[in-house]
Amino acid sequence: MFDSVGWGEILVLIVAGLFILGPERLPQAASWLGQSVRKMREFANGARDQLRDEMGPEFDDLRKPLEDLREIRNFDPRRAVTRHLFDGDPDPLGLNGTSGGSTKPNGYPLPAAKPEPLKPGEKPPVDPDAT
Protein backbone atom coordinates (compact mmCIF):
# COMPACT_ATOMS: atom_id res chain seq x y z
CA MET A 1 0.00 0.00 0.00
CA PHE A 2 2.77 2.45 0.88
CA ASP A 3 5.27 1.24 -1.72
CA SER A 4 5.31 4.52 -3.62
CA VAL A 5 5.30 6.80 -0.54
CA GLY A 6 8.77 7.82 0.56
CA TRP A 7 10.06 9.27 3.79
CA GLY A 8 9.86 12.79 2.43
CA GLU A 9 6.14 12.48 1.72
CA ILE A 10 5.51 10.98 5.15
CA LEU A 11 7.35 13.89 6.76
CA VAL A 12 5.25 16.39 4.78
CA LEU A 13 2.05 14.60 5.89
CA ILE A 14 3.17 14.71 9.54
CA VAL A 15 3.98 18.42 9.35
CA ALA A 16 0.67 19.13 7.60
CA GLY A 17 -1.17 17.09 10.25
CA LEU A 18 0.64 19.01 12.97
CA PHE A 19 -0.55 22.33 11.50
CA ILE A 20 -4.09 21.14 10.78
CA LEU A 21 -4.83 19.14 13.94
CA GLY A 22 -2.45 20.73 16.39
CA PRO A 23 0.05 18.99 18.66
CA GLU A 24 -2.58 17.86 21.19
CA ARG A 25 -4.84 16.00 18.70
CA LEU A 26 -2.15 14.63 16.33
CA PRO A 27 -1.28 11.52 18.45
CA GLN A 28 -4.97 10.59 18.73
CA ALA A 29 -5.45 10.99 14.97
CA ALA A 30 -2.36 8.88 14.23
CA SER A 31 -3.61 6.18 16.61
CA TRP A 32 -7.06 6.20 14.96
CA LEU A 33 -5.47 6.00 11.50
CA GLY A 34 -3.27 3.07 12.55
CA GLN A 35 -6.23 1.18 14.03
CA SER A 36 -8.33 1.80 10.91
CA VAL A 37 -5.59 0.52 8.60
CA ARG A 38 -5.12 -2.54 10.84
CA LYS A 39 -8.89 -3.28 10.73
CA MET A 40 -8.96 -2.92 6.93
CA ARG A 41 -6.07 -5.38 6.62
CA GLU A 42 -7.81 -7.85 8.94
CA PHE A 43 -11.03 -7.57 6.89
CA ALA A 44 -9.14 -8.10 3.64
CA ASN A 45 -7.19 -11.08 5.02
CA GLY A 46 -10.38 -12.59 6.46
CA ALA A 47 -12.22 -12.19 3.15
CA ARG A 48 -9.30 -13.74 1.25
CA ASP A 49 -9.07 -16.68 3.67
CA GLN A 50 -12.82 -17.24 3.53
CA LEU A 51 -12.78 -17.15 -0.26
CA ARG A 52 -9.83 -19.57 -0.33
CA ASP A 53 -11.66 -21.97 2.03
CA GLU A 54 -14.87 -21.89 -0.02
CA MET A 55 -13.28 -22.11 -3.46
CA GLY A 56 -10.52 -24.58 -2.65
CA PRO A 57 -8.03 -25.19 -5.47
CA GLU A 58 -9.98 -22.96 -7.89
CA PHE A 59 -8.83 -19.96 -5.87
CA ASP A 60 -5.36 -20.30 -7.38
CA ASP A 61 -6.93 -20.38 -10.86
CA LEU A 62 -8.72 -17.14 -10.03
CA ARG A 63 -5.55 -15.61 -8.66
CA LYS A 64 -3.44 -16.28 -11.79
CA PRO A 65 -5.20 -13.63 -13.98
CA LEU A 66 -4.88 -11.11 -11.14
CA GLU A 67 -1.13 -11.71 -11.00
CA ASP A 68 -1.00 -11.25 -14.79
CA LEU A 69 -2.77 -7.91 -14.39
CA ARG A 70 -0.23 -6.92 -11.74
CA GLU A 71 2.56 -7.69 -14.22
CA ILE A 72 0.83 -5.54 -16.84
CA ARG A 73 0.82 -2.64 -14.40
CA ASN A 74 4.63 -2.85 -14.28
CA PHE A 75 4.84 -3.14 -18.08
CA ASP A 76 7.50 -1.04 -19.80
CA PRO A 77 6.59 -0.70 -23.50
CA ARG A 78 10.00 0.63 -24.53
CA ARG A 79 11.80 -2.37 -23.02
CA ALA A 80 9.28 -4.83 -24.50
CA VAL A 81 9.55 -3.40 -28.01
CA THR A 82 13.33 -3.27 -27.81
CA ARG A 83 13.51 -6.85 -26.61
CA HIS A 84 11.06 -8.02 -29.26
CA LEU A 85 12.72 -6.24 -32.17
CA PHE A 86 16.38 -6.67 -31.28
CA ASP A 87 16.46 -9.96 -29.39
CA GLY A 88 19.29 -12.11 -30.73
CA ASP A 89 20.23 -9.62 -33.46
CA PRO A 90 23.99 -8.95 -33.29
CA ASP A 91 23.62 -5.68 -35.22
CA PRO A 92 20.15 -4.28 -34.42
CA LEU A 93 20.68 -0.90 -36.08
CA GLY A 94 22.62 -2.14 -39.12
CA LEU A 95 25.76 -0.21 -38.25
CA ASN A 96 28.32 -2.98 -38.74
CA GLY A 97 28.34 -2.62 -42.52
CA THR A 98 28.84 1.15 -42.44
CA SER A 99 31.51 1.72 -39.85
CA GLY A 100 34.60 0.20 -41.46
CA GLY A 101 33.78 -0.41 -45.11
CA SER A 102 35.07 1.37 -48.20
CA THR A 103 31.63 2.43 -49.45
CA LYS A 104 28.71 4.40 -48.08
CA PRO A 105 25.41 2.64 -47.37
CA ASN A 106 24.13 3.95 -50.73
CA GLY A 107 27.02 2.32 -52.62
CA TYR A 108 29.12 5.43 -53.34
CA PRO A 109 32.77 5.34 -52.29
CA LEU A 110 33.79 7.00 -49.05
CA PRO A 111 35.69 10.27 -49.37
CA ALA A 112 39.40 10.33 -48.69
CA ALA A 113 40.48 10.64 -45.09
CA LYS A 114 41.53 14.28 -45.51
CA PRO A 115 40.32 15.97 -48.67
CA GLU A 116 42.52 18.52 -50.32
CA PRO A 117 41.35 22.11 -50.07
CA LEU A 118 39.72 23.58 -53.15
CA LYS A 119 41.85 25.69 -55.41
CA PRO A 120 40.70 29.21 -56.20
CA GLY A 121 37.84 29.12 -58.73
CA GLU A 122 37.34 25.34 -58.40
CA LYS A 123 33.75 24.10 -57.90
CA PRO A 124 33.06 21.74 -55.04
CA PRO A 125 32.13 18.15 -55.88
CA VAL A 126 28.42 17.29 -56.04
CA ASP A 127 26.99 14.68 -53.66
CA PRO A 128 24.02 12.97 -55.35
CA ASP A 129 22.53 12.13 -51.94
CA ALA A 130 22.43 15.78 -50.91
CA THR A 131 20.39 16.90 -53.90
pLDDT (tens digit per residue) in 26-64: 888 889 989 999 999 999 999 988 888 888 878 778 777
Instruction: Please report the pLDDT score of residue 107 as a whole number.
Output: 65
Residues 74-87 have a mean pLDDT of 74
Q: How far from 67 is each of 46, 51, 62, 70, 73, CA to CA, in Å?
A: 20, 17, 9, 5, 10
Q: How far from 82 is each of 15, 68, 89, 92, CA to CA, in Å?
A: 44, 21, 11, 10
Range of the domain at 31: 7-87
In a domain, 48, yes or no: yes
In a domain, 53, yes or no: yes
Q: How far from 68 is each of 61, 63, 73, CA to CA, in Å?
A: 12, 9, 9
Instruction: Please report the pLDDT score of residue 14 as a whole number.
Output: 83
In a domain, 100, yes or no: no
Query: Which region among 61-70, 82-91, 112-121 has the lowest average model confidence (pLDDT)?
Result: 82-91
Higher per-residue confidence, 88 vs 2? 88
Of 91, 84, 123, 88, the C-alpha closest to 105 is 91
Max mean pLDDT range (37-41, 71-75, 117-121): 37-41
In a domain, 1, yes or no: no
In a domain, 129, yes or no: no
Split into its structural domains, the chain has a count of 1
Q: Is pTM beyond 0.95 here?
A: no
In a domain, 64, yes or no: yes
Q: Residue 75 — pLDDT band, cuts 50, 70, 90?
A: confident
In a domain, 117, yes or no: no
